[in-house]
A and B are shown apart, each in its own frame.
Chain A
Amino acid sequence: MSAITLNGAPRVVPEDTTVVDLVAETVGRALGPDGHPVDGGRLGVAVAVDAAVVPRSRWGRTPVAEGQSIEIITAVQGG
C-alpha cells in the first residue's frame, strides 16, 4: 500500500494504482486506458502530480507512488 495525498487529504492506495484509477474513482465514471470516459463525452478534469501536470494520455501509465501529492481539478464557477 502507498500513502499519498489526494486533493489535500491523506489516502492509502494499493501498490499498483495508476492515475487513471484514482481519477475514475474520484469522478465516478469508467475511463478507458486513454483517460477518456468509456460512456463518451468529455471529462473536464486535469491531474497534477507533485505540481506537474500529467497529460491525460499518460494517466494509465503513471503509477501512484508513496508520498506523492496528487491534485485532481475541474472547472468550477468563477471569474
Chain B
Amino acid sequence: MTTVPAPDPLVLDGVELSSRLIMGTGGLSSLHTLEQALLASGTELTTVALRRYAPGQGDSLFALLERNGIRILPNTAGCYTARDALLTAELGREALETDWVKLEVIADEDTLLPDVVELLDATEQLVARGFKVFAYTSDDPAVARRLEDLGAAAVMPLGAPIGTGLGILNPHNIELIASRAAVPVVLDAGIGTASEAALAMELGCDAVLLASAVTRAQDPVAMATAMRHAVAAGRLAAGAGRIPARRHAVASSPMAGRIDAAEEPSVHPADVPRGDWAPVGEGR
C-alpha cells in the first residue's frame, strides 16, 4: 500500500493529532469490522455515544478503543435540550475521564439538524463547567462565530444532514466559517464519499468527522482507506496554492519547435494568452 503523506498535525485543545480524520463509531453491527475500518482510516480520535449499560455489549467498544490507543470523544447524541446535553456531558466526563465533549443538540428527528438556540445555551454552560466543547452546528457562519465567542474548543459545521451522504451543500458557507475561525473547524456530517472529504479540507477545514460514509459503505475498510487518503490529499492541496480556474485553455506543451512547423516565429501566438483571457469570476 502506498503511504499517505503526513499532513501537519491537527491541534485540538493543545493535543496534537497526526490524523485529520475523526471517525464516528456508529452504523456497523460487527465490532471486528469497525476495528478494521478504524485502523484503516488512521484515525486517532473517535466519537462514542453514551447509553445504558447492557451486559456484554458496552465495555467491548471501550476496550477496543483503549487497546488501539484511540482517543474518545463522547457525544450528546439524542439530546433535544441544553438540560439533557449537560447531564449527558457530565456522564461522559465521569465515564471516560475526559473534559472533551462533542455537543449535539438536535431540533427534531426527521432532519437531525442542530437546535442552535439550545446549542448556544449548552455551550455557555458547559464551558463554565470546564468542558472542552466541540460544537456540532449548522453551516451558518454567524452561529459559528457565536460558538467561538462563547469558548467552544472547536466548531463543527455540518456539510449536510447526518447520514444523508449529500456532501457539502453550501461550500461557500463552509469556506467562510473556516476562513474566519480562530478555533479548529471540523466538517461534521453529510460526507458520502472521498471527494467530499477532500473538498472539505480544500475549503479550509482543519479536519473531517464522518461515520456513516464508512460504516454503511459496502466495503467499510476500503472506504476508510479512501477517506484517509482524501483528507490528507485535501489538506495538502489546500496549502499548495491551486491554479486559478480560467475560461480558455492554456497549452502545457510549447507550440514552438513542433517537427512539422514550416516557419518558426520566435514566439508562437498560442503561447501567449488571449486578450480576453481572464480567470473565471474576474471581469465579466
Contacts and interface: CB of A to CB of B under 8 A. Distances in A.
Interface string B206-217: 000001000000
Contacts of A76: 48-51, 57-58, 61
B51 A74 contact: yes
Contacts of B34: 77
A55 interface: yes
B104 A44 contact: no
A60 to B, nearest CB: 15
B55 A73 contact: no
Interface string B1-40: 0000000000000000000000011111000001000000
A42 B55 contact: no
Secondary structure of the B contact surface, majority rule: mixed
Given A77-B34, A79-B211, A53 B49 contact: no
A36 to B, nearest CB: 11
B58 A48 contact: no
B97 interface: yes
A14 interface: no
Interface in B49-78: 49-53, 55, 57-59, 61-62, 65-66, 72, 74-75, 77
Contact of A46 (B55, B75, B92): B92
A75 B31 CA distance: 13
Nearest to B92: A46
A21 interface: no
Nearest to B27: A77
A45 B94 CA distance: 7
A78 B75 contact: yes
Interface in A16-69: 26-28, 41-48, 51, 53, 55-56
A4 interface: no
A27 B26 contact: no
Contacts of A26: 53, 55
Contacts of A71: 52, 91
B52 A77 contact: no
A51 B87 CA distance: 7
A74 B95 contact: yes
Interface of B: 24-28, 34, 47-53, 55, 57-59, 61-62, 65-66, 72, 74-75, 77, 87, 90-97, 102, 104, 162, 211
Interface of A: 7-8, 26-28, 41-48, 51, 53, 55-56, 71-79
22 contacts: A7-B52, A8-B52, A41-B66, A42-B66, A44-B96, A45-B95, A51-B87, A56-B94, A72-B52, A73-B91, A73-B95, A74-B51, A74-B53, A74-B59, A74-B95, A75-B48, A76-B49, A77-B48, A77-B49, A79-B26, A79-B77, A79-B162
